[in-house]
Structure formats: C-alpha cells, structure tokens
Amino acid sequence: MIETLEGFLRDYGYIVLFVGTFLEGETMVLIAGYLAKAGVLDLNWVILSSFAGTYLGDQTAFFIGRRWGHLLIKRTSSESWKRRTERVMYLLDRYNTWFIMGFRFIYGVRNVTPFALGASPIAAIRFMLLNCLAAFIWATSFGYGGYIFGHAMEGFLADIKHYQFYFFGGVGVVLIGIWARKRFFKREAAPAVMEERAENSVP
C-alpha cells in the first residue's frame, strides 16, 4: 500500500496529494514529505496541497451535514456510524474548541466529525475559521514529519521490501498447517464415525 501511494505521488504529484487529503490522507502526507526530502517534491507545495485538500474536504462534509445531517443520522441503519456520531457530540460538548482543532488527530472519529459538526448547532463561520487553522497545523506537522524523518521512512520502506517475502511465506506456512490439521483430524474421525454407525445398526 505504501509503495503504491509513493508511486502515485511520484507520477502525479500534488494532484494525488490533494485528492488523498480531501478524503483523509495522513499516510500520504508523510510519504509526500519524505519525497520532498528526497528532492522529488517541494515541501512548500506539499504543505499547501495537503492544507487545501483537508480543509476543503472537511468543509464539504460540514456543509453536507448542515444540509442533510439530521435526516441521514436519523435514517441510517449503521450502529457504528451512530455510535461514532454520539461520541463526536459528547467530545464537542466537553472540549468544544479544542476538539474542533484536534479531531484530525483522533483515530476513529476523523471521518465522521466534520459531518456530525455540520448537524450540530455550531456556527458555520466559527467552524470555518477553526477548521482553517487546524488544517494548517495538520498539514504542516505531517509534512515536516515526513521531511524530517525522511531517512527513517526510507529505511522503513526498505524493510517492507526486505521482509515482505518472509511475512507472506509465514502466512503460507500457517495456512498449510491449518489445512493439514483439518485433513488429519478428518481422517482420524472417519473410522470412528463408521464404527459408531455400525454399532448403532446392530439390532
């Protein structure tokens, strides 16, 4: 997956980065920062593209929530979606501004939060301003994170290439072992079943 994202970023650059961050994209920003360290991309454009993507993505989700949020939440049959929406409302009520500023860094509510905030009473202009500041902090921190730790990421990518053979090989051995075990117990159980049936058939 990481190699695929790296390939897309090398081939299509900032357009792919914008689309990826519009949807989510922490991993993509880190890889883009790493590529900036390697001289493939420009760090300033990495941060700008990431900022534009995440800001516009969350603003879009917010306005969808503002327009259709209550109706969609009421009609959804997904319990997971309802639980995450309830958690967003709880965190908003308890932490308010800090939650709006930091939801991008919280796993599990990242995608649903701007939509749920759109369905909340928060003023649109307030969310727009806080979202702008938070998007800049997010894009800068992840962009510089990939840039500063570019050497470590390079080693990490190399490790994936080096150990993927052993990983898939180990998975294959486990699957073969499970298959052999089932075959063994099936053969062991067959005579016992036939013997039991024979005994039951004797008057």
Q: Is the CA virtual torsion 160, 161, 162, 165 positive or negative?
A: positive
Quick one: pLDDT at residue 104?
A: 87
Does residue 156 have a pLDDT over 80? no
Higher-pLDDT residue of 18 and 11 is 18
What Cα–Cα distance (Å) separates residue 124 from each residue in 75, 120, 127?
Answer: 24, 10, 5
50 near 142, Cβ under 8 Å?
Answer: yes
Q: For 123-152, what is the mean pLDDT?
A: 91
Q: Is the pLDDT of residue 15 over 70?
A: yes
Q: Which of 59, 56, 32 is nearest to 143 (CA)?
A: 32
pLDDT given for residue 90 in this prediction? 86
Average pLDDT for 138-142: 94
Name the residue with higher pLDDT: 202 or 167.
202
The whole-angstrom separation of Cα 135 and Cα 100 is 11
pLDDT (tens digit, 9 = 90+) per residue, 118-128?
A: 988 899 999 99
Looking at residue 38, its amino acid is A
Q: How far apart are CA 148 and CA 150, in angstroms?
A: 6
Tell me, what's the pLDDT at 172?
A: 44
| pLDDT tens readout for residues 17-26 | 999 999 877 8
Residue 171 predicted with pLDDT over 50:
no
Digit-coded pLDDT (tens) for 77-98? 567 767 878 888 888 888 888 9
In 49-68, which positions are buried (b, 16+ CB within 10 angstroms) versus exposed (e)? bbbbbbbebbbebbbebbee
What pTM does this model have? 0.69
